[in-house]
Amino acid sequence: MNLFTSIKILTILIMRKNALAFLLLTLFISCSSGNNYEMARIEYTSISKGNLYGAGNEGIVQQNMVITDQSSWNSLTVQMNSVNNVSENFSGIDIDFSKYKIIVIFDEVKPNGGHSIEVSIMSNSENIIVNITKFAPEGNATTVITQPYNIVKIPTSELSIIFE
C-alpha cells in the first residue's frame, strides 16, 4: 500500500467519524430538547363507572366525549336515564364547569355482562391524554345485554384532549 492510498483511507475514516459524531450530537440535542413532552398524571374524580342495561335503547353509540357545559351534561344524563335511572348512583353530579370538564367514555353494546372500562389520564405541555382500557369477562358471563361506560371529571384546561 502506498502513502497516497493510506492517506486517502485515513481521510475517509476521519470523515466518517466526524459524520457519526455530528449525527449523535444532533440526536442528543433533539432528544434533550423534548422536555416539553414530560408526562404528568392528571388527578380526576370518578362520577360513575358501570353499565347501561337498556340493550342499546338509550340510543348512545360507542363514543368518547368531553362535556364543558351544564346543558350538555343535563342532556346526557336524561339520555342515560331513558331506560333505567342510572344517574341516581352518580357521585358529585353538581359540576362547576368553570373549574371542571367531564370526560365520558361509552363502549359498544355488549351481548353479555362483565365488561368494564378503566381510564388513566396524563398530560404534557401540549395535550391531555386519556388512556382507555377495556376489560372483557373471562369464561362464562351473564347473558344480560350491557353497555359499559366511565364518567370522570378533570380540572379545566386549555390543552387539547386526546383519547387513546
> How confident is the model over 82-133, as pLDDT tens digits?
999 999 999 988 899 999 999 999 999 999 999 999 999 999 999 999 999 9
Task: Tell me the average pLDDT of the chain.
Answer: 86
pLDDT at 34 over 50: no
Nearest CA to 152 out of 73, 55, 60 is that of: 73
pLDDT, position 36: 52
- Please tell me the least confidently modeled range out of 30-34, 96-100, 149-153: 30-34
Q: What is the pTM of this model?
A: 0.77
Comparing 99 with 1, the larger pLDDT belongs to 99
pLDDT at site 139: 78
Locate the DSSP E strands across the chain. Answer: 40-41, 45-52, 63-67, 100-106, 116-123, 127-135, 147-155, 160-163
Residue 93 has a pLDDT of 80
Q: What is the DSSP letter of 84?
A: S
Domain ranges of the chain: 3-35, 40-163
- Report which DSSP code applies to 87: G
